[in-house]
Amino acid sequence: MSEPRGPVDSSRVPRFAGPATFARLPRLDEVERADVAVVGVPFDTGVSYRPGARFGPAAVREASRLLRPYNPGLDVSPFAVAQVVDAGDIVCNPYDIGAAVEAIGEAAGALGTTGTRLVTVGGDHTIALPLLRAVSARRGPVALLHFDAHLDTWDTYFGAEYTHGTPFRRAVEEGLVDTSALSHVGTRGPLYAASDLNEDARLGFGIVTSADVMRRGVDEIVAALRERVGDRPVYLSVDIDVLDPAHAPGTGTPEAGGLSSRELLEILRGLAGLDLVGADVVEVAPAYDHAEITSVAASHVAYDLVSLLALGVRPAA
């Protein structure tokens, strides 16, 4: 097997120059294989408040120029131990949510047919449903760790079944997830009614609120999440609004009282060794950002997700 091709060398080409791929990695069509692919889904037709997440993939790629090849938090050089690529953007219908969901699922499934695992950059959270369809088709129902200010298990908005607030109810209904291993992390803020929580619990979700993270600490939360997931295949879905607006103002439905970027990254790093089958980072809306605060945070989240996946393909010592 050929050695992985890494990103453009920043000692030769300044970070503000060179290719506009994630972390200046090679494109999918420039390599023989791909262990991990970063793919964008510029879609935000499913939002219920502020639009603009369709521009998230481009903003995250731009912010990722400053990423470096060694990740000390996970003690891995992800681009050296795995062939990581930028697979470009999945093209989907911006006017028809149902057609877009189908197109995203088909494209994600095609990318994964050779064993490539995806870190998908959205786009709004509607895209999690077709991504779960793609991984479930390969691995069966998967455990889910969902990082978000919101539950995203509502039934409909204005009669629409496919929105950024409904993907995980649909995933349960379709049998895509293992209902004994579902957890929200970082939830907070007002709900429509107490019944929202009852309905969420009925679907099988456990909840770790942002206040729980503050009171119990990262290490205890990580231990609880690992116990809930066990050795099941697990999908990670990260809505950037899990972060407090101080750390991620550029998002569509911000809520006060969220996680810090440090807390989120440390929780993710604590999940090393799980059977991670894919991940997404969604809801980056750069029009509401300032000084790239949100896109920088999202690029680091995506980098740690890539690193976690790379650890899974590292050859045994």
Q: What is the rounded (10 degree) CA torsion for 168, 61, 54, 163?
A: 0
Helix residue ranges per DSSP H, 204-313: 210-216, 218-229, 261-269, 293-313
> Hey, is 258 helix, strand or coil?
coil
Digit-by-digit pLDDT tens for the chain (317 residues) are: 678 999 999 989 999 999 999 999 999 999 999 999 999 999 999 999 999 999 999 999 999 999 999 999 999 999 999 999 999 999 999 999 999 999 999 999 999 988 999 999 999 999 999 999 999 999 999 999 999 999 999 999 999 999 999 999 999 999 999 999 999 999 999 999 999 999 999 999 999 999 999 999 999 999 999 999 999 999 999 999 999 999 999 999 999 999 999 999 999 999 999 999 999 999 999 999 999 999 999 999 999 999 999 998 855 44
**CA distance to 144, 300, 304, per residue, from 263 (Å):** 19, 13, 13
d(CA 314, CA 292): 32
**How would you label 208-226 residue by residue, b for 16+ Cβ within 10 Å and e otherwise?**
bbbebbeeeebeebbebbb
Domain edges within the chain: 22-313
Nearest to 84 by CA among 244, 314, 316: 314
Per the CB < 8 A criterion, the answer to whether 259 and 218 are in contact is no
Cβ-proximal residues to 58 (8 Å cutoff; 6+ apart), any chain: 40, 42, 286
Query: At the topology level of CATH, where does 22-313 sit?
Result: Arginase; Chain A (3.40.800)
